[in-house]
Amino acid sequence: MDTTIIADPADKRGRNSSVILTDRLCEKRVAKRTKFYDRKCPGLYVSITTAAVATFSFKFTDRQTGKQRTGWLGVYNPETFTVEDARSKVYGLKGLAAGALAENFRDQKAKAAKRGKTVAEIIEERIDWMKTPVKKPDGEMRPRLEAWENTESHLRRFLGARLGKTLARDVTKHDIATLSNDIVEGKFGKPSVSNARHMRKAASGLFKWAAEAGRDYVTASPCVNLPKLDPEHPRTRVLSEDEIRIFWRGLGRNDLPYDRRTRLALKFELVTMLRSRELLGAHRNELFDLDGKHARLDVPLKRVKKRRVIQQPLSDLALEIIKEALTSDDQQFVFESPIYKGRPIHRKAMADALRGTKHEKNEDKTKTAGLCELLGLKPFTPHDLRRTAATLAGDLGFDDAAIAKCLDHAVTKKGDTIVPTVTGKVYNHSKRMKEKRNVLEGVAADLRRIVGAPAANALEHEVQRLPFRAP
């Protein structure tokens, strides 16, 4: 026989991974990609990914070049391609004449290239394309798609895990629909219509991009005319006046297991209607006229969901929170991290403080109780504070258009008059600062009224008798 077979790599780690391959081993769950070399059939090995995909390959030395090469054999399947099938294929390859083995794999590779790229390959190209820095409207260099990490997660966790080895041009509408249904049914963890919807969006963007001229990896996107998913019910959680009072007063306690600035940030979201990401990065140089009549916070577009600068007026209550949060002249971020000096609080800190932190091995078991639990409140999220503030403003009689401006929502209606979208997007760049300031000052005054009023007896007693745990 003219082909030299390399049973295992020469290094120690490679030798230690040499075992007798079994079907059960191929179904093993691994924490990171792992290779196992077969003792019974020198040159054969299986590579197992974290997604539990086991791939057989054959390592040999090409006599024509003297170089070690690897040939792909197939993906493990308990019904169609087992360990014994892989061994039989290797034994057959060993019987080929000199040079024929390498030529066989060269032909195989050429045919695969001619047939096109796999889903896994175009996913990696798409991710590289998304995270490539480009110049943004504010002059900064940032990733082409700034939320690329979320898209990457949905592409790899769902599409790549299920269809990664499939040729991109062979993916059908049925494949995407089946994957979507499996996500909804909980075959990828907890049942989630939201994850299915995000997977479809990520997959649609991927295949449209793959079909563009210059790539032509696919002729058309398979993500069309898919069965409709069940609607996701919008969140409607709004804190009552009693809940606002308990929440606000509770945040002032000294025995709560969360950093003071995190608690101030929660108050700030209720007072300003800003999103968590927009306010947590607030820098000292983004604050203007704090001692005057027109105090405001300018949020740069890179932190804004719609990528447009927000000029948010600051009420007297918002100013009190800022002055309490800024404890020194050297502090640059209003809500500076208690752990990493010179950096803002982590974007998840507010949500974690409300719901508590969980054990890694048992997500249902509370490790540190959240503020909602400690204060005896029905669970809510930071975003619900925005909704609560908007509801207070509506109850005070403010116009929906003015409230929408405070929330940084697109305004298409003013009273009974429809405003063309193009007017807001292209021609009218007014920040309506006077209207926004009236709304936010009105909300601040109402919060002072609520917080200053006596709480309902039952709720007041509940707050005072709640046990608080140290951090």
| Residue 196 to residue 178: CA distance in whole angstroms | 10
Task: Return the higher-pLDDT residue of 103 and 19.
Answer: 19
Which among 78, 97, 115 is the end of a domain? 115
Per-residue confidence (pLDDT) for residue 422, from 0 to 100: 43
CATH of the domain at 32: 3.30.160.390
Residue 165, classified by CB atoms within 10 Å of its CB into exposed (0-12), middle (13-18) or buried (19+), is middle
In a shared domain, residues 72 and 129: no
In a shared domain, residues 204 and 347: no
Whether 218 has a pLDDT exceeding 60, the answer reads yes
* Confidence at 113, pLDDT banded by 50, 70, 90: low
Dump pLDDT digits (tens) for 26-85. 988 888 888 999 999 998 999 988 777 888 998 887 777 777 888 888 888 888 889 999
Per-residue confidence (pLDDT) for residue 22, from 0 to 100: 93
Which among 62, 93, 115 is the end of a domain? 115
In a shared domain, residues 191 and 153: yes
Q: How many domains does the chain have?
A: 3
In a shared domain, residues 136 and 194: yes
Question: Which residues are bridge partners to 18 per DSSP?
Answer: 37
In a shared domain, residues 89 and 163: no
Q: Do residues 128 and 152 lie in contact, with contact meaning Cβ atoms separated by under 8 Å?
A: no
| Residue 344 to residue 347: CA distance in whole angstroms | 8
| Residue 350 to residue 218: CA distance in whole angstroms | 43
Which among 90, 115, 140 is the end of a domain? 115
CATH of the domain at 360: 1.10.443.10
Q: Please choose, from the candidates 269, 267, 251, the residue with its C-alpha nearest in 3D space to the C-alpha of residue 312.
A: 269
Q: Domain range for residue 40?
A: 4-115
Q: What's this model's pTM, rounded to 2 decimal places?
A: 0.65
Per-residue confidence (pLDDT) for residue 467, from 0 to 100: 41
In a shared domain, residues 342 and 385: yes
Evaluate whether residue 101 is within a structural domain: yes
Per-residue confidence (pLDDT) for residue 140, from 0 to 100: 86
Residues near 270 by beta carbon (within 8 Å), at least 6 away in sequence: 244, 385, 386, 388, 389, 447
Percent of the chain with pLDDT over 90: 52
| Residue 169 to residue 250: CA distance in whole angstroms | 58
Evaluate whether residue 333 is within a structural domain: yes
Evaluate whether residue 177 is within a structural domain: yes
